[in-house]
Chain A
Amino acid sequence: MNKVITTNDFISKLEDGMTIGIGGWGARRKPMSLVREICRSNLKDLTLVSYGGPDIGLLSSCKKIRKLIFGFVSLDLIPLDSHFRNARQSGELPEVVEIDEGMLQWGLRAAGMNLPFLPTRVGIGTDVLKNNPHIKFVESPYDDKEKLVAMPAIKLDVALLHVNESDEKGNTLIFGPDPFFDDLFARAASKTFVSTEKLVDSTSFDKEKVANYNRFERNLVSGIIPDEGGAHPTACNPSYGIDLDHLKEYSKSAKTFDEYQEKYLFVDEATYKKNVGGIKSITSIPLTKF
């Protein structure tokens, strides 16, 4: 089955009010071109689930988010995201579910395992539970009778991921040093859309590569969008690092967003790439040292 689609096809599969999970972590391997397409669309009232970076900042400033399920929002090299901060401090982000990053992992895992919840101690004794009264406790049925948090499944309508290579069937390879929780996002979602640096012929995959870098099965993948540089301005190791200069420009634009929108969002993705210096300049950004 050929799953390669255009960005227009991708947007046509999304609906107002959907719950969308975004893979990657902070400013690392975020499917930013797909995020920008959502910013360019008329979609609204979305629930977003993310180990947040500029994906969440951009969608906040574009007022696409009705509810945000998150553990943090950070640009890594710049600790805080000015767009997300603006949205929270101005009261424009209608609803937040702020949970421990491990609870987020548990919620996605429960959804992927088709369970209503997974037990954990994480969250006990903190305002995470006070602020989220929908998260309940469960008592261990064993002799310990321990009171545990029943972290509810976080079911996603859609997951968005960015990978290094994919074939047209959705066999993907992630070469970055940390696969983050992309596999769990894919398992928690009804549909997963993947942007890929390279569309490749899978006959070129060798066994060792597949064993190390194929993190989830192709049956989870509904659509492939080939897009070299699609993670910019976030990192996509080993091809390019975080574009710190762009993130600085992005950070400054929280107060004067019109200019940023004009240059990067009211244009198509090809023009975006041109406006940030072209694909060669993206792929020459040195890998980020942490």
Chain B
Amino acid sequence: MAHQFTISEVCICEAAKVWKDDGEILATGIGLLPRIAVGLAKKLHNPDLMMTDGEAFLIDQPHPLGVGAEPCVDGYMTYSRVFDVLWSGARHAMVTPTQIDKYAHLNISSIGNYAQPKVQLLGVRGFPGNSISHRNSIFIPNHSKKVFVEGSVDMVSSVGFDADDVEPLIGKVITNLGIFDYQGNKNTLRLLSIHSTSSLDEIRDNTGFDFEIFSTDETTNPTKDELDIIRNELDPNNLRSSVIGE
């Protein structure tokens, strides 16, 4: 019998797979869905992953979100240590930029004219260093031309494929419409699968630049195992339902 699931759950299950073959590295999921995805990756795909409590410690097992559980601490990971780890390359993060372009530049700094931005965001944080040091996957809850911009992002916060001497390591790009990577010809964005609720036309209409099509298959459905872990262990209060409007 077919089981019911949401696009958030599809995204979490696909996102978790990005850490499958990473070995013993630090996995960082920034934002709610990526964070649940790291937990699922650790439980299901790669038990060797190191993950943090979001403050200063490594935890042995992901703890359920929003229920005040005390995680089981087994290591120390201050910001200073995070910098040391990330510069060594032993990390794979999943991030949600406000803008992304055809060169895989990400922007979390500001929108509009830099001198007096229309919208001031967070600031570049660690994106320049992350993008030059380790693999980053991307989660976009609101796939649109505002995010996948025509031309360049407004403030280039990370290295892109147009740089001379360096190249970013981009993993998967997981959105509310489909799954992509940047492994098309000359590192073009490439469509890998389309979620059951979306279509190629919808993706085209909502992407501000050309992309290659590797496959238009439907994204893999979550398994019962995956859903059980997400629903019963990682996010029992269904906080994930607020991330993607569905």
Tell me the dominant secondary structure on chain B's binding face.
loop
B156 touches A178 (CB 8 A): no
Chain A residues in 8 Å Cβ range of B163? 124-125
A124 touches B165 (CB 8 A): yes
A100 touches B127 (CB 8 A): yes
Whether A290 contacts B53 in the complex (CB less than 8 A), given A88-B110, A89-B117, A126-B156, comes out as yes
Chain A residues in 8 Å Cβ range of B166? 121, 124-125
Chain B residues in 8 Å Cβ range of A177? 55-57, 78
B55 touches A290 (CB 8 A): yes
A-B contact count, CB below 8 Å? 126
Q: Is B214 an interface residue (CB 8 A)?
A: no
Flag the segment in A40-48, A78-86, A164-172, A257-265 that touches B: A78-86
Expressed in whole angstroms, the minimum distance between the Cβ of A73 and any Cβ of chain B is 6
Flag the segment in B79-87, B135-143, B174-182, B220-228 that touches A: B79-87
A71 touches B124 (CB 8 A): yes
Expressed in whole angstroms, the minimum distance between the Cβ of A206 and any Cβ of chain B is 21
Q: Is B8 an interface residue (CB 8 A)?
A: no
Name B's A-contacting residues (CB within 8 A): 53-57, 68, 78-80, 83, 86-87, 109-110, 114-129, 131-133, 155-160, 163-166
Chain A residues in 8 Å Cβ range of B132? 121-122, 124-125
Name the CB-closest residue of A to B57: A177
Whether A85 contacts B120 in the complex (CB less than 8 A), given A125-B160, A125-B163, comes out as yes
Q: Which of B68, B109, B118 has the most CB of A within 10 A?
A: B109
Expressed in whole angstroms, the minimum distance between the Cβ of B205 and any Cβ of chain A is 29
Name A's B-contacting residues (CB within 8 A): 25, 52, 70-74, 79-80, 84-85, 88-91, 98-103, 105, 120-128, 130-131, 147, 177-181, 289-290
A to B CB contacts below 8 Å, 21 in the list: A71-B125, A71-B126, A80-B120, A100-B126, A101-B126, A103-B128, A121-B129, A123-B128, A125-B158, A126-B124, A126-B157, A126-B158, A126-B159, A127-B109, A127-B114, A128-B128, A131-B114, A178-B56, A178-B79, A180-B78, A290-B53
Name the CB-closest residue of A to B71: A289
Chain B residues in 8 Å Cβ range of A121? 129, 132-133, 166
A105 touches B159 (CB 8 A): no
B159 touches A125 (CB 8 A): yes
Known: A91-B115, A105-B80, A128-B157. 20 other contacts (CB 8 A): A71-B123, A72-B123, A89-B116, A89-B119, A90-B116, A99-B128, A100-B128, A101-B79, A101-B125, A101-B126, A102-B86, A126-B127, A126-B131, A127-B155, A178-B79, A179-B78, A180-B79, A180-B80, A181-B80, A290-B54
Chain B residues in 8 Å Cβ range of A181? 79-80
Alpha-carbon separation in the docked complex, A126 to B118 (Å): 20
Expressed in whole angstroms, the minimum distance between the Cβ of A121 and any Cβ of chain B is 5
Chain A residues in 8 Å Cβ range of B87? 102, 122
Expressed in whole angstroms, the minimum distance between the Cβ of B163 and any Cβ of chain A is 4
